[in-house]
Structure 1
Amino acid sequence: MSNPWFISNSVILVRLLLSVLMGGLIGFEREHNNHPAGFRTHILVCLGSSLIMMLSIYGFSDFIGETNVRLDPARLATAVITGIGFLGAGTILFTGKSITGLTTAASLWVVAAMGLAIGAGFYFAAITVTCLVLIILWMFNKVERRFLQSKQIRTLTIQATATEDILDSVCNRLNNFTIKTQKMTLLEKRLPIGEADQIEVQVQIIVPRSMEPDIMISEMRKIGGIHAISVE
């Protein structure tokens, strides 16, 4: 029976290279879609997790015979799962209107788990999870965009000369595109006597995902008195 506390250099090399491959596949998908944590980040997370798992299992084998020492192969693995949360939190961005980066943070957490699995020798589980993650990130993303996220929330900001019909004109333009208004904020700027007052209208709207911002901007420009338009 082979010694469960011993690992050869060739097996160490295989596990490290496999962690680079598995982490790289997921990282490539994230990099291809311009997400915060990409190709190299996922490789490093998976590689580091694999190394820590092997260190946790085999790195302290010399102390097995000590009477006052208890070895727990999972002690460093728990630290990896906890610590990866800080790295994942760095990929989550709150812009004031939405939160982005949650999927990338989750992919980093899964890649860390894959590295631990590879380091422990669970090759089939690691390879299976890699395939499932790629399916979820690529195929399910298309399904989500097609059926679950057909519309998106945008913020339209307009700066214009204050006139009686400016708000009606903006609303009519939005209604022509069947765009639903969620929230409208009006800020009036009073200028010195002799100059026309200015207003800033900020509208939170729900638009079809297929509608590009330049279409809305070109339509709003047709309204007289508008000086600046932005779509976020």
Structure 2
Amino acid sequence: MELENPWVIDNVSIFFRLVLALVLGGMIGWERERSNHAAGLRTHILVCMGSSLIMLLSVYGFADFVDEVNVRIDPARLATAVITGIGFLGAGTILFTGKSITGLTTAASIWVVGAIGLAVGAGFYFAAIVSTLLILVNLVVFNKLEQRYIRGSKLHLVTVHASNAPGLLDGLSAMLNSEGFVIKKLIVNERNTVPFSDTQPAIPGLEISLHVLTDRRFDPVKLTQQIRDLGGVSMVTAE
């Protein structure tokens, strides 16, 4: 809708823009929520609506001072602060687990949702709606294509608690190599298991942490069973 005065907006338009920001941010947040990511539906809605509200404030909130002498209105000033602030919020979704970095896509989605909110607040409806649809294509369609056709090697962490049996490391290494895993890092620590009865001595054992690389489909259940079949293994975790 055309506004006669670019510095004035009516309440209906404000309501429409905030609701549109809620819908567009919610569409992207729903996909993140469905994929069980840290920042989901409500986070994306809040970021999009907050960005839209700040843009509305930046453009229309100081209209009373437009005609004042020595006052310059810069509608983009608050928008730049939004982008900077969202950077800190997105950083909170990035996790370094010791074997890989996760959350980069979610951090990027938060950042682009903020941009969509700014676009809605400024009245760029077409750009905001098209951007939302393209982002959903990227998150849903391209993700499936990447998993099916562009699956690269991924790093996994395997932790084994076992007795200090002869040949355990050799057997574990041979089994992983036969399954197509490449051991990138190996940490072995002595670990004593304390029995329930204080009269019995501690049982010596090993804690083995392996960072393994594979380009095959990772099946933690199958891998765990194969490691337990080696014998002497009391606990296995695979992620």
Normalising by the residue count of structure 2, what TM-score does the alignment of the two structures yield? 0.89
Contact 1:23 1:111 in 2 (8 A): yes
Using the TM superposition, give the Cα deviation of residue 185 of structure 1 relative to its aligned residue in structure 2, in angstroms.
2.3
State the partner residue of 1:147: 149
Match runs of 1:59-138 below 5 Å: 59-138=61-140
In structure 1, how many angstroms separate the alpha carbons of the residues matched to 2:29 and 2:106? Answer: 9
Q: Which runs of 5+ in 2 are unaligned?
A: 194-200
In structure 1, how many angstroms separate the alpha carbons of the residues matched to 2:14 and 2:163? Answer: 70
Q: 1:215 aligns with which of 205, 209, 222?
A: 222
In structure 2, how many angstroms separate the alpha carbons of the residues matched to 1:59 and 1:41? Answer: 25
**What code does the residue aligned with 1:71 have?**
I
In structure 1, how many angstroms separate the alpha carbons of the residues matched to 2:179 and 2:217? Answer: 12
Contact 2:55 2:78 in 1 (8 A): yes
In structure 1, how many angstroms separate the alpha carbons of the residues matched to 2:191 and 2:215? Answer: 32
1:229 counterpart = 2:231: no
**What code does the residue aligned with 1:82 have?**
T
- CA displacement, residues 10-58 of structure 1 (integer Å, 9 cap, x when unaligned): 1111111111111010000000001111111111111111111111111
In structure 2, how many angstroms separate the alpha carbons of the residues matched to 1:24 and 1:189? Answer: 48
Using the TM superposition, give the Cα deviation of residue 164 of structure 1 relative to its aligned residue in structure 2, in angstroms.
2.6
In structure 2, how many angstroms separate the alpha carbons of the residues matched to 1:177 and 1:43? Answer: 44
In structure 1, how many angstroms separate the alpha carbons of the residues matched to 2:85 and 2:202? Answer: 59
In structure 1, how many angstroms separate the alpha carbons of the residues matched to 2:9 and 2:191? Answer: 73
Contact 1:118 1:126 in 2 (8 A): yes
State the partner residue of 2:164: 162
In structure 1, how many angstroms separate the alpha carbons of the residues matched to 2:184 and 2:116? Answer: 42
State the partner residue of 2:196: none
- CA displacement, residues 96-129 of structure 1 (integer Å, 9 cap, x when unaligned): 2211111111111101111111111111110111
Match runs of 1:199-210 below 5 Å: 199-208=206-215, 210=217
- CA displacement, residues 58-89 of structure 1 (integer Å, 9 cap, x when unaligned): 11111111112111111111111111111111
Contact 1:26 1:133 in 2 (8 A): yes
Using the TM superposition, give the Cα deviation of residue 207 of structure 1 relative to its aligned residue in structure 2, in angstroms.
3.2
**Alpha-carbon RMSD:** 2.2
In structure 2, how many angstroms separate the alpha carbons of the residues matched to 1:196 and 1:104? Answer: 45
Q: Which runs of 5+ in 1 are unaligned?
A: none
Q: 1:144 to 1:67 in 2, by over 3 A?
A: same
Using the TM superposition, give the Cα deviation of residue 190 of structure 1 relative to its aligned residue in structure 2, in angstroms.
7.7
In structure 2, how many angstroms separate the alpha carbons of the residues matched to 1:220 and 1:14? Answer: 58
